[in-house]
Structure 1
């Protein structure tokens, strides 16, 4: 079975083509007018699309799918138990991350950290129950907030592995505040969950995962395609 999964995020879209459980290829595109020809030129057995930014109807008009075309929603069956109090407001990427964590580490307590536009933390226990987590601003969002909500602070965008702890210029001070501050935040969250959940597995994904990979304490698993794999597992659970 060849399947297509598409994750439509706040700042761009990602896709993956699977043969059964194997990810054959993946890529990204900007918006609905730039869907890659690679996707438009073939027929898929099944497909799933998830969006945090709107509906996915435009995809169905441009793609060829012989079987089911699933739009991930609050009503979609999941291979984990969702204990979130407002499932209709839970982001598709957060659900997919939890499902993928359960797939990779069954029977383990897992904390999924998705470091993108926002940084999301999602906890799945060893019995396959998704509890929820938290959402905080991502690195670029923090940079933009400092610039947009002050009169004189410049817009900094640099994400440097060797960021200064003690800033000696305004730009360095902003980098220290955002980068060192966020690393401290993430390490602190991991420590709190580790105290509450035995033998915690920490999984990091998202556009800024590489930055955190080399700056976080302890052992973490970086799985860049985590959300795509989670979507494929949800699709397989429903067809």
Structure 2
């Protein structure tokens, strides 16, 4: 099966091309001639589009003109899933969180998993037994934390996330910028490690999957075992598409 999956997020629209259950290509794409060129080059049989920022109808309409098979618009509350969604308010659940859980279920069948998605928001979600999405937590991502300190105060500077931050970030900032950097970065790491510890009290054999644009920052700083899967949401969207093609 050849399939294209699209994850329209807060900062970019990502795509993945799958062939026979293998991710062959991934990147970013715009809803313009680039989308048409991508479809015509890869010739997918089916496609799925998911979004956390805008309706999927425009994307789906463009895809249906080029894709002969199923074009699925993923909706958290209504799309059939290969896992159980136990979230109390499915209509408010971000599609990316649920897709990541489906990806985790495929990669770690039958196993308790904590999914840490470090992107625009910092999300930690619990997949129980490899088959039931329970929910989790949502907090500001690293850049959002830096921006909030700058925007909602009168004099604090805007501090950027270091491109290659050392593993040990000084705990005690000796000037305002380094104090902000310590508070944001060390605080976020402590926050996630605290959540990992709490979930491991429930499940001693817990595994953690790490995804998102800031996964590279968190990976050396989190308590193991940690498995980095940058394309976890794309994998989950593909498994949702396969499930809906086969039913």
TM-score range, shorter chain: over 0.9
Residues 214, 66 of structure 1: CA spacing in aligned structure 2 closer, same or farther, 3 A cutoff? same
Give the match for residue 137 of structure 2. Answer: 134
Q: CA deviation at 1:37?
A: 5.4
* Structure 1 residue 184 corresponds to structure 2 residue 183: no
TM-aligned CA deviation for residue 57 of structure 1 = 2.2
CA distance in 2, matches of 1:61, 1:199: 44
Q: Which runs of 5+ in 1 are unaligned?
A: none
Partner Cα distance (2:161, 2:100) in 1 = 27
Q: Does 1:202 find its partner at 2:208?
A: yes
Structure 2: how far apart are the matches of 1:8 and 1:237? 21
Check conservation: 2:60, 2:73, Cα contact below 8 A. no
**In structure 2, what is the equivalent of residue 44 of structure 1?**
44
Give the distance between the partners of 2:124 and 2:33, measured in 1 at CA: 31
Q: Deviations over 1:191-228 (max 9, x none)?
A: 00000123001000000000001111222000001110
Corresponding residue for 1:87? 90
Check whether the contact 1:7–1:51 (CA below 8 A) recurs between aligned residues.
Answer: yes
TM-score, normalised with respect to structure 2:
0.92
What SS does structure 1 have at the residue aligned with 2:234?
A: helix
Q: Which runs of 5+ in 2 are unaligned?
A: none
How many residue pairs are counted as aligned between the two chains? 238
Q: How big is the alpha-carbon RMSD for the aligned residues of Structure 1 and Structure 2? A: 1.4
Choose from 227, 230, 241 the match for 1:221: 227
| 2:70 is the alignment partner of 1:68 | yes
CA distance in 2, matches of 1:201, 1:38: 39
Offset, 1:107: 1.0
User: Once the two structures are superposed, what CA deviation does each residue of 1:42-98 show, in whole Å capped at 9, x if it has no partner?
Assistant: 432110000000112222343311111100012101111110011111111101111
Given that 1:40 and 1:62 are in contact with CA atoms closer than 8 Å, whether structure 2 keeps it comes out as: no
Shift of 1:36: 4.6
CA distance in 2, matches of 1:35, 1:86: 36
TM-score by length of 1: 0.95
